[in-house]
Amino acid sequence: MSAAFPTVALIGKYKSPEIAEPVLKLARFLEGRGVKVLIDRLTAAHIDNCPYAVRVLEELGREADLAIVLGGDGTMLNIARTFAPYDVALVGVNQGRLGFLTDISVDTIFESITAILDGKFVAEERMLLESEVWSGGNGDQERVFEVLAFNDVVVSKGFKGGLVEIEVRIDGDFIYNQRSDGLIVATPTGSTAYALSSGGPIVHPALSVMSLVPVSPHTLSNRPIVIGGDSTVEIIVRSADDPRVHCDSHSHFDLREGDRIVVRRSAHTIKLLHPVGHSYYAMLREKLHWNRD
Residue 293 confidence (pLDDT): 67
Q: What is the pLDDT of residues 220-245, one digit of tens each?
A: 899 999 999 999 999 999 988 889 99
| Residues annotated as part of the active site | 73
Percent of the chain past pLDDT 70, that is, above it, reads 98
- Tell me the C-alpha distance between 288 and 293, whole Å: 13
- More reliable by pLDDT, 241 or 66: 66
- CB burial string 103-116: b at 16+ within 10 A, e below: bbeeeebeebbebb
Segment 144-172 shows an average pLDDT of: 94
Residue 15 confidence (pLDDT): 84
- Tell me the C-alpha distance between 23 and 130, whole Å: 32
- More reliable by pLDDT, 98 or 53: 53
Confirm if 261 and 131 have CB atoms less than 8 A apart: yes
Residue 240 confidence (pLDDT): 81
Helix, strand or coil, per DSSP, at residue 49: coil
CA 119 to chain CA centroid, Å, is: 25
Would you say residue 1 has pLDDT above 70?
Answer: no
pLDDT band of 96, cuts 50, 70, 90: confident
Residue 94 confidence (pLDDT): 92
Q: Give bridge partners of residue 227 from the DSSP assignment.
A: 210
Is the whole model's pTM more than 0.75, yes or no?
yes
Residue 218 confidence (pLDDT): 92
Q: What is the pLDDT of residues 164-194, one digit of tens each?
A: 999 999 999 999 999 999 999 999 999 999 9
Q: What is the pLDDT of residues 192-223, one digit of tens each?
A: 999 999 999 999 999 999 999 999 999 989 99
| Average pLDDT over all residues of the chain | 94
- Tell me the C-alpha distance between 250 and 61, whole Å: 20
Superfamily holding 129-267: Probable inorganic polyphosphate/atp-NAD kinase; domain 2 (2.60.200.30)
Break the chain into its structural domains and give their ranges.
Answer: 7-121+275-287, 129-267
Residue 244 confidence (pLDDT): 95
Percent of the chain past pLDDT 90, that is, above it, reads 86
Would you say residue 16 has pLDDT above 70?
Answer: yes
Helix (H) or strand (E) holding 233: strand 233-239
Segment 89-103 shows an average pLDDT of: 89
**7-121+275-287 CATH choice from 3.90.1170.30, 3.40.50.720, 3.20.20.140, 3.40.50.10330:** 3.40.50.10330
Name the nearest CA neighbour of 63 among 91, 95, 39. Answer: 39
